[in-house]
Amino acid sequence: MDSGMNTSSHLKAQARCPLQRSYLPKKTSKENWDRFIPNRSAMDFDYAHYALTEGRNEKDQATKVSTSPSREAYRKQLAETMNLNRSRILAFRNKPQAPVGSLHKLHSVSWLDQQPKPLKPRRYIPQTWERMLDVPDIGDNFYLNLLDWGSANVLAIALDHTVYLWDASTGSASELMSVDEEKGPVTSINWALDGCNLAVGLDNSEVQIWDCVTKRKLRTLKGGHQERVGSLAWNSHILTTGGMDGKVINNDVRARSHVVQSYRGHTLEVCGLKWSGSGQYLASGGNDNVVHVWDRSSSTQWLHRLEEHTSAVKALAWCPFQTNLLATGGGDGDRMIKFWNTSTGACLNSVETGSQVCSLIWSKNERELLSSHGFTENQLTLWKYPSMVKMAELTGHTSRVLYMAQSPDGCTVASAAADETLRFWNVFGVPDKAKKAAVKAVPVPFSNVTRIR
């Protein structure tokens, strides 16, 4: 009873689906054979047409022309090889002839050559941070530089009058130094290339140099500036400082008279400084909306003066894979990322970001650029260079992301914002296994505390 109802419902379902195609079981090739009718799928109609029309004429002409025995033998062998000595037009065979071996090999090789190359798998970019730390009292000031990550994998951050160190290998935090009210707050920090010495710029125009291994102050640089030092950049033993007075000064930290060179060109505060990878060229950005490129070996006159931004320029980044390429970012009144050929001073491209550009970081392994922004999204944006297609937008900060720093392996980026949080993003991929340290982290007292005080 049930089977009959199922069959009936099945037929009704088929009737309700007029566009549904029904398929009949296909018979085998042997079932399609007939005793008197040949298998038409095995016929060669092209050869049949040739044999009925042109073939007979050629045979008649061949009999009239006398040929040598060797030529006749060659003709027969060629006809046999090329399958031209057939006499039947209608064939009862069903199996096709095997192809010639050499032609089969050539066909196989050409087919393999036409196969598309496997595409490179798209890299996964996490959309959330890996770790977050509280950083109370961090300065909400676009013109300062309060975060840097050293080559020894220690991150330095300035909170009001105090500088803290966070060891990324162990996760432990410690206080490096603190200044008095009349000297502070701290307005800039920057690691030397050795990852041991840290330069600290102060609001009273002084610059201190600290040994972070022994936590001892090495010296204080005075007299170079008259106002706060908001930007710093190391180049071997030369420490370059940029002040609110518009001066850019090279200081030789080995010499008693430390001021060795002074660049003048900015009319307002210098808020960005970056040396190129070769150490030959210096880029400086200021609150006067101007970017200067200086040549270390030449006089104090700028090499290029770039005036296309319409707001303060703090974000500067030299490209690691193209030595004469400089990326710059403008403030809230500009919102542009510009790319410059520092050999000629030409602007190669301008990209509208839609918000204040606070900092820029190039990837060390890929042709990618990361930018941090202020109003209104407070996001980090990853761009593909040179197309400048957005690869990812990292959100989570609730205030403008003023500071960014890159880990020594180039994979992780730390971002600090006015929302008093420090977040770590695995935006540039996972480091190679060969580069990963095999040493386990040493347990440190209070290492589980995530609030820096």
| pLDDT (tens digit per residue) in 317-329 | 999 999 999 999 9
Query: What pLDDT, on the 0 to 100 scale, is given for residue 393?
Result: 96
pLDDT at 3 over 70: no
Domain boundaries, the chain: 142-307, 312-428
pLDDT band at 35, cuts 50/70/90?
low
Residue in the block written with tokens 């033993």: 237
Residues present in the chain in total: 453
Query: Tell me, what's the pLDDT at 344?
Result: 96
Q: What pLDDT was estimated at residue 450?
A: 41
Would you place residue 244 in the very low, low, confident or very high pLDDT band (cuts 50, 70, 90)? very high
pLDDT score of 338 more than 80: yes
**Does 185 sit behind a cis peptide bond, omega within 30 degrees of 0 on the bond before it?**
yes
Going by pLDDT thresholds of 50, 70 and 90, the confidence category of residue 122 is: confident
- Give pLDDT tens digits for 274-313: 999 999 999 999 999 999 999 998 877 899 999 999 999 9
pLDDT at res. 13: 47
Q: Is the pLDDT of residue 113 over 60?
A: no
User: When comparing pLDDT for 337 and 86, which is higher?
Assistant: 337
Give the pLDDT score at 41: 63
More confident residue, 306 or 429: 306
- The 10s digit of each residue's pLDDT in 199-208 is 999 999 999 9
Rg over CA atoms, the chain: 38
Tokens of 273: 């400084």
For residue 240, the cross-strand partners are: 233, 250
Domain 312-428, architecture per CATH: 7 Propeller (2.130)
pLDDT classification of 74: cutoffs 50, 70, 90: confident
Residues 205-229: what's their mean pLDDT? 97
> Domain 142-307, what fold?
Methylamine Dehydrogenase; Chain H (2.130.10)
Note whether 142-307 and 312-428 share their fold. Answer: yes
More confident residue, 1 or 349: 349
Instruction: Provide the pLDDT for residue 306.
Output: 98
30-44, 345-359, 395-409, 421-435, range with the lowest pLDDT: 30-44
Band of the pLDDT at 99, cuts 50, 70, 90? low
pLDDT at site 106? 42
Predicted pLDDT of residue 298: 80
State the pLDDT confidence band at 111, using cuts at 50, 70 and 90: very low
Q: Is the pTM of this model over 0.85?
A: no
Cβ distance 201 to 241 under 8 Å? yes
Nearest to 327 by CA among 307, 342, 344: 342
pLDDT over 80 at 451, yes or no: no
Residue 49's pLDDT band (boundaries 50, 70, 90)? confident
Task: Look up residue 305 and give its two tokens.
Answer: 């003066």
pLDDT digits (tens, 9 = 90+) for 403-427: 999 999 999 999 999 999 999 999 9
Please compute the mean of the pLDDT values over residues 38-66 and round it to a whole number: 61
> For residue 271, is pLDDT > 70?
yes
Residue 362 has pLDDT above 90, yes or no: yes
Strand order in the sheet with 147-149: 147-149, 154-159, 162-167, 172-178
CB 295 within 8 A of CB 281: yes
pLDDT of residue 26: 47
Predicted local distance difference test score (pLDDT) of residue 22: 41
Cβ neighbour number for residue 423 with a 10 Å cutoff? 22
CA dihedral 48, 54, 59, 60 (to 10 degrees): 140
pLDDT band at 452 (very low <50, low <70, confident <90, very high): very low
Res. 4: pLDDT tops 80: no
pLDDT at 25 over 50: no
3-class SS letters over the chain: CHHHHHHHHHHHHHHHCCCCCCCCCCCCCCCCCCCCCCCHHHCCHHHHHHHHHHHHHHHHHHHHCCCCHHHHHHHHHHHHHCCCCCCCCCCCCCCCCCCCHHHHHHHHHHHHHCCCCCCCCCCCCCCCCCEEEECCCCCCCCCCECEEECCCCEEEEEECCEEEEEECCCCEEEEEEECCCCCCCEEEEEECCCCCEEEEEECCCCEEEEECCCCEEEEEECCCCCCCEEEEEEECCEEEEEECCCEEEEEECCCCCCEEEEEECCCCCEEEEEECCCCCEEEEEECCCCEEEEECCCCCCCCEEECCCCCCEEEEEECCCCCCEEEEEECCCCCEEEEEECCCCEEEEEEECCCCEEEEEECCCCCEEEEEECCCCCCEEEEECCCCEEEEEECCCCCCCCEEEECCCCCCEEEECCCCEEEEECCCCCCCHHHCCCCCCCCCCCCCCCECC
